[in-house]
Amino acid sequence: MRSRDLVLSICVALACWHAVDVLANGWVVARESPHARDFASFYYAAAVARGGGDPYDTEALGSAGRAERTRRWVHSYFYPPPFLLAMAWALPLDLVTAYRAWFWLDEIFLWVAVAALWRWWRPLGAAAGVALLAAVAALTAVANNDQIGQMNLPVLALVALGLWAAERGREVTGGLCLGAACMAKMSPALFVAWWLLRRRWAAAGAAIAAAAGLTLVSLAAFGLDVQRTFWLDVFPAFARGDYNGLAVPIGLFGNHSIPSLWHAAFPGDRLLSATARSLSAASALGLFAGAAWMLRATRRIRFSPRPTRAWWL
């Protein structure tokens, strides 16, 4: 068997393995779910905000669910206000229909991210592509993400597209993608910080402009009080392990974050103890400073958009 045929066979097998995992462990459960799991938080936050209410008021979200007889209570919403704009498509649909649509949108976003990374890493050869598909096939968390209805994969797609575009010299396009990702989850801002560290002003400036523009649009759509609540109340509370009153404890077994590790060593109640909070902050700052120091003299690597060899060789 030629090397190209072998690589293609492995890739097809890995993609099929992922499809079986998503269908058997994800869709079967999602199709029978009457309450839409975590997706309900995004859905009802957007619905409450559209009606002029406070999307960060967990009781208001629960009231909306009870009014529609879909949920007795709803998890708190704690993402930036601009993400509510991205949920506008779901509001004409009922909760369960929107949740099922989101399941497959998550899969589409996953493969957008895979495609961006595949194209970005083509010069590394076939091994990089096979390793990427192997990671997708092995990650049971992907099916779990789809089933729960979380929003990690759209953010991943925007980040992958943004970084790929920036490395191809399209820094403004890359920055716009990263800025949009930051307004869904805050963690992609670390890549913007890295751009600033590397003096890539066009990419970083575009990201900041995109974030500011989306914030202004959400300000016009939902009002100043929503912005004030997130930036002055919800966002600062992340440092103590409080996600807008989320009932899920920081020490949940499935939480493998650094704050959770410090919580295990220095337990508090539902939130981080003062010691765990300080050590978590020190760990995060230490990791960021260490990464910045290690990358201080790293040359920028430019991948050629037109590799001289075919990807399967």
> What are the domain boundaries of the chain?
3-242, 249-307
Q: Pick from 218, 263, 214, 210: which is nearest to 56 by CA?
A: 218
Helix axes 171-182, 201-222, angle to 10 degrees: 40
Other beta carbons less than 10 A from residue 138's beta carbon: 13
Q: What is the pLDDT of residues 18-34, one digit of tens each?
A: 888 888 888 988 888 88
Q: What is the distance between the alpha carbons of residues 39 and 19, in angstroms, rounded to a whole number?
A: 22
Q: How much of the chain, in percent, has pLDDT values that exceed 90?
A: 53
- Mean pLDDT for 66-89 is 94
Q: Which residue has the tokens 């523009």?
A: 213
Q: Pick from 47, 67, 36, 296: which is nearest to 148 by CA?
A: 36
Q: What kind and span of H or E run contains 56?
A: none
Q: What is the distance between the alpha carbons of residues 98 and 105, in angstroms, rounded to a whole number?
A: 10
Whole-model pTM: value is 0.85
- At 179, the pLDDT band (50, 70, 90 cuts) reads very high
The pLDDT of residue 3 is above 70? yes
Could you tell me which residue, 305 or 230, shows the higher pLDDT? Answer: 230
